[in-house]
Amino acid sequence: MDNLPIDIHSNKLLDWLISRRHCSKNWQSNFDEIRQKISNAIKDMPENEQIIKILDGGQFINYFHCKEILKILYETEKDTKNIFGFYSSQKIKDWKEIISLYENENVYLGEAANFLQRYVQYE
């Protein structure tokens, strides 16, 4: 019984997520704060081919891009660990905060559902 698929129409996915309380009704208001933090964090990025490729791709930076950027920053900023093993780099702190804002109240689910709905309908 647990392996049965759920059939949800793509244009009703966001409504389904909200009605099942997987994301909140006001996810869009939290999303605006996240967009502002992303635009501030992009201004202070290291010169790395992978990061430049993500940022110059002409795509909208979403949750999954943020996770990828943080993963790359862990590699490029690995020499900034302090004595306790935590990263002292402000870049890593900024991107971790962005990801935590996305994961708070599952804003990333609302964003992903919105993008999926838009891509299916218009592209």
Q: pLDDT-based confidence at 89, cuts 50/70/90?
A: confident
Residue environment code for 44-80, b if the CB has 16+ CB neighbours within 10 A, otherwise e: ebeeeeebeebeeeeeebbbebbeebbebbeebbeee
For 90-123, the pLDDT digits (tens) are 898 999 999 999 999 899 999 999 888 888 888 6
The domain segmentation of the chain, as residue ranges, is: 28-122
Q: Is 44 or 64 the better-scoring residue by pLDDT?
A: 64
Assess whether pLDDT exceeds 80 at residue 32.
Answer: yes
pLDDT at 71 over 80: yes
Residue 23 burial (CB count, 10 A)? 20
